[in-house]
Amino acid sequence: MSESEQAQFDLIVVGGGSGGLAGAFRAAEHGARVALLEPSLLGGTCVNVGCVPKKAMWLAADIGAKLRMAQSLGFAVDAPPQQPCELDWPTFIVHRQRYIAGIHDSYRKRLDKAGIVVAPMRARLLDARTVECENGARMGAARILIATGGHAVKPAIPGAELGGTSDDFFQWTAAPKRVAIVGAGYIAVELAGVLQALGSQVELFARGQRLLEGFDHELTAQLADDYCQSGVRLHFGHAVAALEADGARVRVRGADGALGEAFDKVLFATGRKPNSAGLGLENAGVELDANGFVRIDELNATRVAGIDAVGDVTPDPPLTPVAIAAARRLMDRLYGGGSAKLDRNDIPTVVFAHPPIGKVGLTEDEARARWGDNLHIYRAGFRPMLYALAESPQRSLFKLVCVGQERRVVGIHLLGEAADEMLQGFAVALKRGITLDDLRDTVALHPTSAEEVVLMR
């Protein structure tokens, strides 16, 4: 597009990640003329430095763990007993990146087919109808969708530059011998599990007293035990005050002043911030909240007519399916005559830990705060068959939170083998308002872990 050219579109989408692409495709399906601006790789965080490469690494780690179990069950696996079955990262990364390149390819084809104009450039709003590209070209549209996502943040401590983030992790080509991970949220727990299973000695520094704030505390306590069992060293109540170089290695200084041992790598998994700066949002009058998120209403509209926002740049839960669902519903309303809006209640979520942990609905504490003692809690703790066969100590713990005499299920919490694959169907059931009797009326699938959910007493 030449500098002077000002194209007219129905919709300009700023950001080609999960939310932006979903919005662009859905709007085009409804016949809108759409332009999409994305300066980096199509697919954004999820495809390039998030869900997809993370899940690939989790699958590799899971295969490693299963190979060790297979060995103990009599399979001739060529690795010294009790040692991790070593992964050749470069070989695996070729497969990981080939898979990701396939996603890029498929997006490119779909964008072409849908007639969406793609500009591989950063965008800036000049006003509520005009966007300026990096090369100075201007585009005009009746509407603009902000879908610029977020970025990892490091704490402002001395030596922070010596540590990396999840973005750096995806550049690694071997498991570092010793790794420190700062944080206790989704990314810290996922990467700690992956790295330990792939042969690193991992130490996790949590400033609080538990893993995964917001998940059921009994399940996270059991997950912490699983991590200790697998060799991860967990340091709770340990705020990191500084990082210090020790040759090519890095030492962690605690808030108490103590200097720990040297690590080959340090990763910060201390949260993410929205990409809302430098976007010219002030030129259009779009408001940000105190944390820099674009302020939206329940329909994802900003207070400026014609400008909407979805995904991690908004205060919505930073999950890919949330960004996608919000964008699709928005476009269905704007261009397809639809009326559905994103239901922000009971969003299921899974952390790809080892083993995975997931939840939908309320934790016991949240339900107690709402209904007091009018709760019924059901638990099933068991060892999945494969782990029992292999004499591995890893157990599963499932928990149901039910309310009132009819025992309506308001929370489902799963920790254990296959919890990630199990939760989706039960999330549908919970959203439909099922009771414990509905679960019990369902004939079990045997022998599975999932049957424990319908057999809970």
Ligand X SMILES: NC(=O)c1ccc[n+]([C@@H]2O[C@H](COP(=O)([O-])OP(=O)(O)OC[C@H]3O[C@@H](n4cnc5c(N)ncnc54)[C@H](O)[C@@H]3O)[C@@H](O)[C@H]2O)c1
Which residue lies nearer to ligand FAD by CB, 193 or 318?
318
144 carries a ligand binding annotation: no
238 an active-site residue?
no
Which residue lies nearer to ligand X by CB, 9 or 58?
58
Residue 251 binds: one of ligand X, ligand FAD, none (C-beta under 5 to 8 A by kind): none
Which residue lies nearer to ligand X by CB, 155 or 306?
155
188 carries a ligand binding annotation: yes
307 carries a ligand binding annotation: no
Binding site for ligand X (CB under 6 A): 155, 182-188, 190, 207-208, 239-240, 269-272, 317-319, 349-352
| CB-closest chain residue to ligand X | 185
Classify burial at 88, counting beta carbons within 10 Å of its beta carbon; exposed 0-12, middle 13-18, buried 19 or more: exposed
Which residue lies nearer to ligand X by CB, 17 or 84?
17
Residue 430 binds: one of ligand X, ligand FAD, none (C-beta under 5 to 8 A by kind): none
Task: Output the smallest distance, CB 225 to ligand X, in A.
Answer: 18
Residue 28 phi/psi, 5° resolution? Answer: -65, -40
Task: Output the smallest distance, CB 41 to ligand FAD, in A.
Answer: 7
Sheet holding 178-182, edge to edge: 233-235, 201-205, 178-182, 265-268
CA–CA separation, 15 vs 324, rounded Å?
13
Question: Which residues, in sequence order, are CB contacts of 190 under 8 Å at separation 6+?
Answer: 54, 58, 351, 352, 353
CA–CA separation, 313 vs 17, rounded Å?
11
Task: Output the smallest distance, CB 238 to ligand X, in A.
Answer: 9
Residue 198 binds: one of ligand FAD, ligand X, none (C-beta under 5 to 8 A by kind): none
Task: Output the smallest distance, CB 390 to ligand X, in A.
Answer: 26
Per DSSP, what are the bridge partners of residue 121?
none
CA–CA separation, 447 vs 449, rounded Å?
7
CA–CA separation, 279 vs 320, rounded Å?
22
Pair type for strands 408-415 and 357-361: antiparallel
CA–CA separation, 325 vs 343, rounded Å?
9
Instruction: Find how far residue 117's CA is from the centre of its chain.
Output: 29
Binding site for ligand FAD (CB under 6 A): 14-20, 37-40, 44-46, 50-51, 54, 122-123, 147-149, 166, 187, 275, 279, 311-313, 318-321, 323
184 carries a ligand binding annotation: yes
For residue 413, how many C-alpha atoms fall within 13 Å in the half-sphere facing its CB? 28
186 carries a ligand binding annotation: yes
CA 355-357-362 angle, to 5 degrees, is: 165
Residue 144 binds: one of ligand X, ligand FAD, none (C-beta under 5 to 8 A by kind): none
Task: Output the smallest distance, CB 240 to ligand X, in A.
Answer: 6
Which residue lies nearer to ligand X by CB, 255 or 369?
255
Residue 32 binds: one of ligand X, ligand FAD, none (C-beta under 5 to 8 A by kind): none
> Are the C-beta atoms of residues 232 and 192 closer than 8 Å to each other?
yes
> Are the C-beta atoms of residues 56 and 96 closer than 8 Å to each other?
yes
Token couple for 24? 């662009």
- Write out the binding residues for FAD: 55, 312
Which residue positions form the known binding site? 55, 183-190, 271, 312
Just list the catalytic residues.
446
State the binding site for NAD(+).
Answer: 183-190, 271
